[in-house]
Amino acid sequence: MGSSVSHAAAPPPPPPSPSPSPSSVGLAAALPRKQDEKAEPEKVDWLNLPCPIPFEEIQREALMSLKPELFEGLRFDFTKGLNQRFSLSHSVFMGSMEVPSQASDTLKVPTAHYEFGANFLDPKLMLVGRVLTDGRLNARVKSDLTDNLTMKMNAQLTNEPHFSQGMFNFDYKGTDFRSQLQIGNNAFYGGNYIQSVSPHLSLGTEIFWLGHQRKSGIGFAARYNTDNMVATGQVASTGIVALSYVQKVSEKVSLASDFMYNHLTQDVTSSFGYDYILRQCRLRGRIDSNGAFAAFLEERLNMGVNFILSAEVDHRKKDYKFGFGMTVGE
């Protein structure tokens, strides 16, 4: 018998598919591809949130642009380092000092003083002292008691009675929170706490008691920050509402604005400022809702030598302040 396997000819192979034209390839690349799966959101480790900044520095970016260290007159600062930890400083100021006045105009009194300072800087200890020819003595101490606990002391002694002040702060830094206890003269006691609730949002509260005046208060604050912006809000039982916003336009330019409302006096103020950092100088300025504007320029002339210009003009109060100075030493 013959074989049962069929010896019929195999079917011819299918014709080759035509190759795509260059135009069809470009069209396919231009069309958006369908995403079968949605992009997964960034996972957040809620047990490992970043540590927030101290409660008292919650508006530091806005204050840096809107509250530069303006002055009127002549200022010269010289700092000489004796070694890596110890340095001496000398400062001369000649200008005017504002005194309270019932009139709308600002009353200024000419003044001049010399200031001598000594600084001791260590990784875990900082001592700063200043003595002025008018009799004032300022002292600051910062000591890291442990890796998480820091003690701070600020004191100002004057010849005038009831004007001397002293304050002790104990700061504790946790993994995702900070707390502070404050004790001062005139029976002042205070405390604050700030907690990170997300990678960008932190909430805090503060409370104080001033026994000398039998006053107390409580406040709440919120801070939201990203790589390009910082927004803060604060409200207190004393009737103060404060808002601030800082936008980082580029690595060299930042814009800032703030708003403050006092419920007791019904005062409302707002301001807008800028911070422009160049290669050799830094320019900061602001204008507020009262029509006053200010500018502050720091020009680096050489290594360790800076030239300073300060200006503040308030046409409404007829208050004009212009100053220039120089700082030598780091």
- Determine the pLDDT at residue 275: 96
SS3 sequence, 196-262? Answer: ECCCCEEEEEEEEEECCCCEEEEEEEEEEECCCEEEEEEEECCCEEEEEEEEECCCCEEEEEEEEEE
Residue 102: the pLDDT is 66
Q: Which residue has the tokens 């300072």?
A: 117
pTM value? 0.81
Cα torsion through 156, 87, 69, 323, rounded to 10: 110
| Spacing of C-alpha 264 from chain mean position | 27
User: What is the pLDDT at residue 212?
Assistant: 87
Which pLDDT belongs to residue 196?
A: 97
DSSP-derived letter for residue 64 is H
Q: How far is it, in rounded angstroms, from Cα 214 to Cα 188?
A: 10
Q: Which residues of the chain have pLDDT under 50?
A: 1-37
- Long-range interactions of 209-216: CB distance < 8 A, separation 24+: 210/186, 211/186, 211/187, 212/186, 212/187, 212/188, 213/186
pLDDT at residue 147 in the model: 94
In this prediction, residue 10 carries a pLDDT of 41
pLDDT at 73: 95
Element (H, E) at 22: helix 22-30
